[in-house]
Structure 1
Amino acid sequence: MSVKGDAAFFSFGDWIARPAQRSLERGKERVVLEPKLMDVLTYLAGTGGAVVSAEQLLIDCWHGTFYGDNPVHKTIALLRKALKDDARTPRYISTVRKRGYQVIAEVAFADERLRGSPSMHTWTEGSPFRGLLPFDAQHAKLFFGRARATSELLAALRAQWNGGCAFVLVTGPSGSGKSSLVHAGVIPSLLREAGSGGIRALASTSFAARSQGLSPHDALAAAMTRWEVSGRPIFLDTERKALAIALREDISSVLDRIAYSLHHGAQKRDGDAALLVVETLEALLTSPEVTSPESSAFIHVLAELAKSGHVMVLALCRNDFYPRLMEIPELLALKRGGGLYDVPMPTEGEIAQMIRLPALAAGLSFERDAVTERQLDDALLESACRRPGALPLLQYTLQALYELRKANGLLTITAYQELGGLEGALARQAESAFTRLDVSAVDAFTSVLQRLVAVSSDSDEVTACTVRWSDLADQAQRQVVQHLVNMHLLVSLLEGEEPCFTVAHEALLRHWPRVADWVESHRTMLRSRARIAEMARRWLNEGRRQEHLLPRGLLLADARALYHSVSPPLIGEQRLFVRRSLRGARIRTMLLVATCTVIGMLAALSSLATIAARRAEISAEQRRADTEDLLDFMLGDMHERLDALGRLDLLDAVTERAMVVLSHGWQTGEPDDVLRQARALREVGEIRFTRGDLESAQKAFGSADASLHLLSAQYPKLPAIYAELGKLDFWRGQVAARRNHPDEAYVAWMAYLADAEQRAALEPAAPDAWLELSYANNCLGTHALQVDRLDEAVARFNQSVALKKRILSIHATDHKAWLELADTLSWLALAEQQQGNLRLTLATLKAERQAVFAGREAGPPTNLWRYRNALADLHVAKAEGDLGFAAQAAMDYSDATASFSELVDEIPDNQSWQRDLAYALLQQGWLAYGMNNPRLALRKLSEAEDILRRLLAVDPKVADWHILLALDHNYESVVLLGQGQTTKASRLIAAAWKDMPAQGNAKATVSAHVMGAILDVTSSETAAARGDHVAMSAYLSDVIKSLEPRVLTSYDPRLLDPYVRASILMGHRNDASVYLQRLNHSGYQLPMFESYLKTSQSRH
């Protein structure tokens, strides 16, 4: 189109407007207008009768040189005066209340291509087109066709500001013009003196969330150092590192600094703020370096800035990533309430403005086809409207046409055809640039492309990466990049003071066939690379745990190929992740082969030692690493698996060998090595403890504890140290408890609590830390229970239960946590029982059994689960018996003893299982006697005695086994006494007294007092049966003397039962009535106790 003479006039109702002459003509009337009036009239005439807001007129006609909309209203009034129009009965321009102005006169342009152009020939600084580059503030005068979108986005930001959260997420397809809209439309409007509708930006900065070598926080800090108010920076460039730390840890100080600078750097008005633009927000998902917690923390910082009242935030992202971005809870909450603007695709009229008005401003014209009379701008408009997302192609084609223009500024149809039209321009230019490369550069092009292109791991989205120049391998690659930069296909930029480059626009990846074909042919490997990057990020975030390494399969095979290839490349942390995964796969393969071919673990060690010997000449360091990994596996994973099966006896030889290896001092002193050695020593101690070798266990625990305390002095903030120290304190307490040294156990478990609290303070969000804290409370609860501090015990157990439930609220399928919860519930029930809450005790124990059911894994039940299930049945049976539910208790005892018997038959060397079987049998026998079945009672008690004698033959120092044997002999004595066998009964009760372990100087516990009282009551009954009433009275007096200080405030059935029986036998039935009433209130109806009461009443 060539603009000459009067071709620019248009009719406006009955007036003829001539913009070039700034005149209005009607008949013989002629009115000359001021330039701004003619600009506004021309703009309104080109709107096609649409309502235009005052803000939109300010943006397009004044470019923000006034504050407020007064100049708009004044100009409209002057136009009406010149047109001889009336605002109340308009014929030309109508006021639409609260919306703007509307042309109601009939308008006709002599050349419709001039519709909407407020001025001509205003650009003299080169090309008015941007190619693949976005429009910025310097090119705002050429940014046409987006007045509507600019006005809408400003309105959205203004509404968010007024709502107290100045954040808007700007979404749109790639190529929809998001960056240009913000940088050439919104930012200039906000930076002008007038601002926009009551909000104004005193400073502005932007940055890409995808910055090479920088975390999002570091990139944000770098951008904030570019804020300037009245020429003075808010943050100095030298403060960048400190600012990044403050954004993470002390955001309030950052906000105070911004507020101070805004108030003292300019004459601040209400609505003034600093503007922050975040480009490519989707990088939070696509960048392997950015972890999920880091993304959440970054969004939290943006939220704090947006809600401060000092910062306005615009974040840009591609809309194909929008659903996945909404999986970040902090971002979902931040954009609620109007914080989202989806950039609309331009209308045909808006695209026409993008084509014609920049050309008009630069004095360019479009050629007209001499045959068809069709102009080049019409062809461009038709092609752009036919193809969605064509704006990058349109701008690139216009730029290419500009470079091929004639001397008189004519853009020709011939050049357009040579370019291949709109669809082929970019591809042809890119291919032309490629063909100019020499042979070495062509080979290097593929290597460059591998670094530039990324494919999402779970979809087909293709994105561009920012690459550092320093990452280029050789001169040939640098030559390729520089050539493509010169051809405007790539752009060079500075990211965090690091020279980088990236594609000028992602449209290049879609519309250059050579690149699109390469992406399609390499899509599988690119997707594998993305998946590996995500898994490596999770592995690093989870503390490099072994279970997060790549499993055997296709992905591991792809990882191996990528590791040994440069197509596409892996970065350092990803290579480490793949290397560890490959090593883990090799170790698992070796162990699987060794396990299948060698029955004993000692043979497996010998085989691996042979392998290590053959590798000795390669590297001594490799041998050490192999030994560490093997010990970790055998004393870690293998220990857990065999523990679940109850077959820790298979590790006896392994632990003996491990103690020798660990004593050689091969550790380097590094934290990981010291922790590994301490962990191995602790696991050795656990195995020896389970096998009953307390001396070896104590030695292992002591060695590990000494090395860790030295390490903690050097690294006081390392959570893993306190995690391991806590476990050692737990086991040292277990050894003391097994040796019947409760005071030593208490000291160890208090240290355990301190270590667990220290770790929880260092890792407040780690479920493992919560679990250790629950274990510590559980241990202290058992000690409080043992020394009769019931309220403290209940509080400790409830705290432990709460911590485990907190873990299960996050990991509901954590089978181990369910079983641990069941264990704590059993201890809580024991404390409730001693408080006399027998019905609550039964409810808690049933909850224990339900937790055990929830802890069962898929497939056949493990031995560990079978043991916990049998233990739950035993606990419920005991509680049911105390409440008098004898029939149900008998069934549950039967289930428990059957389960324990099966486990002991399968694993006869497990002493804990044997002990629990003996206890279940003697309780089953006692209940049977209460149900008038003395024959069954004697049989069960005899079976329990046999088991306990076998255990004591192995280790006669275990006090708990002696106490159970004494209780068994006591029950047998009662049964025989009931059958009239006084002599045997007397012999058995005498044996029971001998079975009781000596207390020494230790203070007697409640359990010891109760056990002594039980034996005294039975001894008094045997003495009475022999006619020795003096001895009978002595025994009963001992019971009353021992228990009387304790029963005064107690509701514990263990204490009240023998005390009531002794009082009745002494003839003090009235004295016993208050305690009998407590038992009745608690629901205590143990069959033997009820039978005794009935017998005593009949005697009375």
Structure 2
Amino acid sequence: MAGRPEKRLEPDDGPVQRLAYELRLLREQAGSLTYRTMAQRVRFSVTTLAQAASGERMPSLQVLRAYVQACGADPDEWQVRWKQAVEESAATRDTAGTPPPYRGPAPYEPEDRAYFFGRDSLVAELVALVTERRFAILSGASGSGKSSLLRAGLVPALQETAGRLRPSSLVRLLTPGEGPAAAYDRLLNPCPDEPEIWVVVDQFEEVFALCRNRAERNRFIDLLLAAREPDSRVRVVLAVRADYRGRCAEHPGLAQALRDSSLRIGPMSPAELREAVTGPAAAEGLLVERELTNRLVQDVANQPGGLPILSRALLETWRKRRGRMLTLAAYEAVGGVLGPIVATGEEVYGRLSPAQARTVRQLLLRMVVPGDCSPDTPRPIPMAELRSLPEPEEAVRVVERLAHARLLTVGGDMVELAHEALLTRWARLRGWIEEDRERLREQCRLTEAARIWQEFGRDPGALYRGIRLARAEEFFTAPKMRGALTAQERAFLSASRQACEAERWEAARTTRRARCLWASLAAVLAVVLTAALVSLQRPRTGERLPIETAGPPLWPTRPHRGRMRPGARLIVWRRGLD
């Protein structure tokens, strides 16, 4: 068991599964220890330790304490968790022994086909695609129901088809895990005398998210793509989360399959939602109040990732049913469609480290547009924006964890809240919004300004100046805000500061030049005035210089009383010359 990929768990599948999920997180936080390394530290075997985190059954107290001790944690603290899980497991067993018709956030399995409703047309379309093509891809956002469609819809249909068309054919369902090529090489290379195999690969995104070895990843992809060969005895259909379509397109063979033989899963229509609500109950002889059905359709329609939330709310409502009736009162008693998911969110948040909790807060607040005399609204953000944060790997891990808990939906390279009502129903998130409302408004303005600046080729005219720059620096220069801005936003603020400093320096230089010019003018003026004053203050000396004139007058004659006569002498006073 330790050599095979671990089955994916949801923390809210049940107390046993939640404890196993927490044990896996503990091993990851301890440095992704191998079970062989852990077995060397304690007296239990590799298989026993791996089974403790499998989620298939409750581990014994001794095994749990050994597991925790091998990871360097406190066994006494985890013993309390183990007792709580044991008590919850006993309390949640239905007294009549009736299995629940709803699976909560967990996907429907092939054996749950009798409870799988609302996807008949899509199942038929997918079966037609995979019988026509030897290699096909199903894609959709997280929470859109891909896993249930494959497991409870396609696999049973292929088993019937294979039994009818190819009696010797087999259908195998798998998830990639960390080492897919090594784990499934034998399955994907059947001998000529072996029956033909339909390979259904769920959660294909694990090839990129979990498999860190590039050679291992490429080998597994090549093994799958070999099914396209006419003489291959393998047919492949895989499901991938929509935000990983870009990663798939990087591989030529997968890119061609996305173009030629892919199917995208969309949201369920109101009629399909009604069937998904009433069908499983009817299969167990139960009834659903009309008011409850209407309320559920209203609460879930057009919400990203709404199907797991719907199934979880129905499971909790079923547990509080009255006889054979699922009522609106029971639905409201469990907190409506978001009550269970908010409780899960609090559980997930409580297990985070301080650094992870800070990242979660910054991440969720980026997904909010604060209202101004209007309600707050969710804001989908691209994955590229998350990858430009100061710690992109941590941000992506947090997104994966919140998406796993059904708080976020990831699809089409976009991340968004799983339900708009989380803004008001999740008290922790609502408190964060109220506490940081002014900063959120400023961050929305900054994000938009940085986007426009980038679109216009980083035009200096689009930068912040004056009060806008001062206000942005007031909110985003604090140490706790260092990880809240993307690379583009940080570059925008840095360019704004540099432009502001350059303008201040230029203004100071202009002022200095003006001062120098005025000083020079003042000096020149002082010299001139000084010379003039000195000239005026000197004593006047001189002599009378007679000048004799002969002939006609030196200027035109005109009758006036002082006209000179011929032969008269003009007396001119001349200053004495030093």
Q: TM-score, normalising length from structure 2?
A: 0.45
**Looking at both structures, which has the greater relative contact order when contacts are Cα pairs under 8 Å and sequence separation is at least 6?**
2
Q: Which has the larger radius of gyration?
A: 1
Higher helix share: 1
Q: TM-score, normalising length from structure 1?
A: 0.26
